């Protein structure tokens, strides 16, 4: 008998094993099923609403089967998707997808292809021409091929080639020494297609491979980076002597009035489900949905540099195993992720999500100036963190739940810039020279977060309020008045950011009136106004990532509409996500709706971003807006030092005595 499992629990190893076995058994052995992703699907929302209601009321729970999807190749070049009911153990559907649809690539395949590429005679011949000095090798990074030809239906992979210095040290920064040729292979068949040559000057001109001109690598690893005098940093320890304030039971987390579930996902990293604060329903599901990273270097073949890190690879599939005392401090609970091998066997990605509490300064303070009496509470946060390594880059996703009912979704970009070779004395207007003969092209990181709200229930409404001057009139004789102007989003579509009118987007429930404000209850969604995708409207970059043209979208809820650029992004030619749903005419007011927030940043690399980049941080802020009848954090204990045990380090503790103390 299967153990008790919640419909939102992460996929289990035995479920993956069962799904892949059922699929493999359904083909002749020589079909050679090659899996690239197996993951749980969400049950239909209408079933889950009943389930969750019963759960809250302590009633018997309806039976909801667990359903997995699997993407896999058969007979080498047929791409398939199956849905498998792993509760009863049968395949629901199995479809072969049209030629040209490529699913995500499997990390272990990429590593296999890396080796294949370097050992291919055509590539070896090219490497030969470099005449590398002793101690130098060639390393490659497989890259998503992307799209520039509507007739190209083969699944392809392109390799960026680098010199590995460091005398064989595995952590030498090959990104510092990019080479000027780039082999292209067919995926799975590993068939050699061609070698693209990379320009080194201002235009697209290329040159045949010749001897490599030796330049030093800019190294990041402590063994190699030449930093002989390390900075002295004294320990700063986070101790929680009584343990954490949260509890984790299965996927269910309770902390400071918040209740929700966390489920790992090969595609999204994780999703938050069924989030309530202080007994009020707030979100049905929140997750990262897609990310595209288009580069601005127009020269072939760089025009194809456009990654979709979720759809092309999988954020969870590229998830780090996080380490105690490294990725977060304090008292930490780790959740595992689940990966698969090409044969359909699961493996555990240990500690891919970490849960912990942190202090973030003051939450509120007021001092009565008449007597100095203060009330103040600290801002405690509960963090759900995951980190993915997508080849050169790292993305850190932090969902920070706050004691006042707000939720901050923070993205930190770090890791290593994707680099291009550049000739001596060349400058380009689309890139920064970050080391000897190495350039980092301007690019954009555009992330779509899917927010499926349930603000006091599932029927919600999106509005945006602008703040506008009042005209000067009898009521406003001094010309200082200003008011808000409300717009209702009636149909599926997008909302422009408008910081200069203080535009704020709110998710309201028009059926629930706040007894104090006398208006509908809601949650506010704030995100920084930012440049969206820069390519031409009729470029492939835009056609494939329509979602990246707008900062905020509203669609009607439909099961399985989860991914902003559509289900299959690898070598896609159009955005089959928000590119379709975002303009389908659906009525969304007082409906079950979804808000998609697009966080974007155009990254103009700094020299300081190399060889490893200090985090660039951007945040979406979700906060109650006339949802509660007062500050919901008044029940927090007041801060005091009996509790917080901080320590005074008076002036004069340091070596030299302070001068100038008063003589009065």
Residues marked as catalytic? 309, 393
| Inter-residue contact 327 to 385 (CB < 8 Å) | yes
Cα torsion at 17, 22, 25, 28 (round to 10°)? -100
Using rule CB under 8 A, residue 231 touches its own copies: yes
For the segment 546-605, give every residue that binds its own copies (CB under 8 A): 601-602, 604
Using rule CB under 8 A, residue 13 touches its own copies: yes
Q: Closest CB to its own copies among 160 and 625?
A: 625
Q: Closest CB to its own copies among 185 and 628?
A: 628
Using rule CB under 8 A, residue 350 touches its own copies: no
Bridge partners, 462 (sequence order): 507
Sheet holding 419-421, edge to edge: 419-421, 438-441, 431-435
Task: Give every CB contact of residue 326 below 8 A, 6+ residues apart in sequence.
Answer: none
Supply 180's token pair.
């000027």
**Contacting its own copies (CB under 8 A), which of 30, 58, 242, 585?**
242
The DSSP symbol for 646 reads: -
Distance of closest approach, residue 320 Cβ to its own copies, in angstroms:
6
**Contacting its own copies (CB under 8 A), which of 60, 239, 279, 585?**
239
Using rule CB under 8 A, residue 43 touches its own copies: no
Bridge partners, 556 (sequence order): 593
**Contacting its own copies (CB under 8 A), which of 121, 134, 538, 585?**
538
Compute CA distances 132 → 95, 137, 175, whole Å: 49, 7, 16
Name the segment binding its own copies (CB under 8 A); options: 54-62, 151-159, 260-268, 371-379: 371-379
Using rule CB under 8 A, residue 642 touches its own copies: yes
The DSSP symbol for 567 reads: S
Q: Concatenated DSSP letters for 12-78?
A: PHHHHHHHHHHHHHTS-GGG--EEEEEEE-PPPHHHHHHHHHHHHHTPPPPP---EEEEEEEETTTE
Distance between CA 396 and CA 409 in Å, rounded?
11
Distance of closest approach, residue 143 Cβ to its own copies, in angstroms:
13
| Inter-residue contact 263 to 10 (CB < 8 Å) | yes
Task: Give every CB contact of residue 288 below 8 A, 6+ residues apart in sequence.
Answer: 268, 269, 310, 315, 397, 447, 448, 449, 450
Task: Give every CB contact of residue 572 below 8 A, 6+ residues apart in sequence.
Answer: 147, 308, 311, 544, 565, 566
Q: Residue 450: which of 530, 586, 554, 590 has the closest Cα? A: 554
**Contacting its own copies (CB under 8 A), which of 56, 469, 487, 560?**
469
Q: Closest CB to its own copies among 451 and 532?
A: 532
| Inter-residue contact 572 to 544 (CB < 8 Å) | yes
Using rule CB under 8 A, residue 66 touches its own copies: no
Using rule CB under 8 A, residue 649 touches its own copies: yes
Q: Closest CB to its own copies among 46 and 469?
A: 469
**Contacting its own copies (CB under 8 A), which of 327, 452, 550, 591?**
327
Supply 589's token pair.
């007011």
Using rule CB under 8 A, residue 138 touches its own copies: no
Using rule CB under 8 A, residue 276 touches its own copies: no
Cα torsion at 345, 351, 355, 359 (round to 10°)? -160
Name the segment binding its own copies (CB under 8 A); options: 48-56, 75-83, 263-271, 651-659: 651-659
Distance of closest approach, residue 54 Cβ to its own copies, in angstroms:
17
**Contacting its own copies (CB under 8 A), which of 103, 294, 344, 421?**
294
For the segment 169-208, give every residue that binds its own copies (CB under 8 A): 170-171, 203-204
- Using CB under 8 A as the binding criterion, the count of chain residues that bind its own copies stands at 208
Using rule CB under 8 A, residue 325 touches its own copies: yes
Using rule CB under 8 A, residue 59 touches its own copies: no
Phi-psi region of 119 (alpha: psi -120 to 50; beta: other; left: phi over 0): alpha
Distance between CA 605 and CA 304 in Å, rounded?
19
| Inter-residue contact 454 to 460 (CB < 8 Å) | yes
Name the segment binding its own copies (CB under 8 A); options: 96-104, 283-291, 466-474, 563-571: 466-474
Using rule CB under 8 A, residue 168 touches its own copies: no
Name the segment binding its own copies (CB under 8 A); options: 50-58, 184-192, 582-590, 634-642: 634-642
**Contacting its own copies (CB under 8 A), which of 7, 339, 435, 582?**
435
Using rule CB under 8 A, residue 29 touches its own copies: no
Using rule CB under 8 A, residue 214 touches its own copies: no
Distance between CA 626 and CA 24 in Å, rounded?
54
Using rule CB under 8 A, residue 216 touches its own copies: no
**Contacting its own copies (CB under 8 A), which of 225, 574, 583, 590?**
225
Name the segment binding its own copies (CB under 8 A); options: 78-86, 262-270, 296-304, 552-560: 296-304
């Amino acid at each position: 008998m299967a153990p008790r499992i919640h419909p939102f629990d992460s996929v289990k190893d035995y479920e993956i094993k069962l799904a892949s076995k059922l699929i493999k058994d359904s083909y002749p052995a020589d079909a050679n099923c090659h899996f690239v992703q197996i993951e749980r699907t969400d049950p239909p929302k209408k079933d889950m609403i009943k389930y969750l209601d019963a759960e809250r009321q302590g009633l018997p729970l309806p039976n909801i089967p667990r359903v997995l999807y699997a993407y896999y190749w058969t007979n080498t070049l047929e791409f398939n998707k199956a849905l498998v009911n792993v509760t009863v153990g049968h395949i629901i559907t199995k479809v072969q997808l049209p030629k040209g649809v490529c699913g995500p690539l499997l990390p272990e395949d990429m590593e296999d292809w890396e080796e294949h590429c370097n050992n291919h005679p055509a590539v070896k011949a090219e490497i030969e021409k470099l005449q590398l000095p002793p101690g130098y090798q060639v390393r490659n990074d497989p890259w998503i091929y992307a799209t520039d030809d509507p007739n190209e239906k083969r699944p392809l992979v392109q390799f960026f080639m680098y010199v590995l210095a460091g005398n064989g040290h595995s952590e030498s920064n090959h990104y510092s020494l990019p080479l000027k040729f780039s082999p292209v292979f067919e995926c799975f068949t590993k068939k050699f297609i061609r070698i693209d040559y990379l320009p080194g000057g201002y235009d697209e001109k290329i040159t045949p491979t010749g001897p490599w001109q030796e330049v030093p690598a800019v190294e990041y690893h402590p063994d190699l980076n030449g930093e002989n005098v390390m900075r002295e940093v004294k320990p700063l320890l986070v101790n929680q002597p009584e343990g954490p304030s949260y509890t984790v039971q299965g996927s269910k987390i309770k902390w400071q009035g918040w209740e929700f579930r966390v489920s790992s996902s090969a595609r999204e990293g994780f999703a938050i489900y069924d989030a309530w604060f202080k007994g009020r329903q707030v979100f049905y599901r929140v997750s990262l949905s897609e990310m595209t990273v288009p580069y601005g270097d127009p020269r072939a073949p760089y025009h194809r540099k456009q990654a979709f890190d979720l759809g092309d690879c999988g954020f969870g599939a590229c998830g780090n195993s996080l380490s105690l005392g490294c990725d977060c401090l304090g008292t930490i609970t780790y959740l595992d992720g689940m990966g698969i091998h090409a044969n359909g066997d699961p493996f555990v990605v240990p500690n891919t999500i970490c849960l912990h509490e942190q202090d973030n300064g003051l939450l509120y303070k007021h001092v009565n100036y008449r007597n100095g009496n203060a009330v103040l509470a600290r801002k405690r946060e509960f963090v759900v963190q995951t980190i993915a390594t997508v080849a050169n880059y790292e993305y850190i996703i932090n969902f920070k739940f706050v004691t006042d009912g707000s939720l901050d979704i923070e993205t930190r970009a770090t890791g290593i810039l994707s680099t291009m070779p550049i000739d001596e004395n060349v400058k380009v207007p689309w890139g920064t020279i970050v080391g000897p003969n190495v350039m980092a092209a301007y690019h954009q990181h555009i992330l779509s977060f899917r927010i499926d709200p349930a603000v006091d229930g599932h029927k919600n409404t999106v509005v945006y309020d602008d703040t506008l001057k009042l005209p000067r009139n009898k009521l406003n004789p001094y010309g200082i008045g200003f008011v808000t102007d409300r717009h209702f989003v009636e149909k599926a579509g997008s909302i422009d950011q408008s910081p200069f009118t203080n535009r704020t987007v709110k998710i309201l429930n028009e059926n629930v009136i706040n007894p104090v404000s006398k208006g509908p209850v809601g949650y506010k969604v704030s995100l920084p106004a930012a440049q969206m995708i820069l390519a031409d409207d009729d470029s492939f970059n835009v056609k494939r990532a329509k979602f990246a043209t707008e900062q905020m979208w509203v669609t009607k809820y439909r099961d399985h509409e989860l991914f902003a650029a559509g289900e299959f992004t690898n070598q896609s030619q159009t955005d089959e996500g928000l590119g379709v749903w975002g303009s389908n005419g659906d009525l969304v007011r007082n409906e079950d709706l979804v808000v998609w927030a697009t966080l974007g940043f155009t990254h103009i690399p700094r020299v300081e971003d190399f060889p490893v980049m200090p985090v660039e941080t951007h945040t979406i802020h979700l906060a109650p807006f006339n949802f509660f009848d007062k500050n919901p954090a008044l029940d927090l204990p007041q801060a005091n030092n009996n509790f917080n045990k901080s320590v005074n380090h008076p002036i004069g503790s340091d070596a030299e005595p302070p001068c100038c103390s008063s003589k009065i």
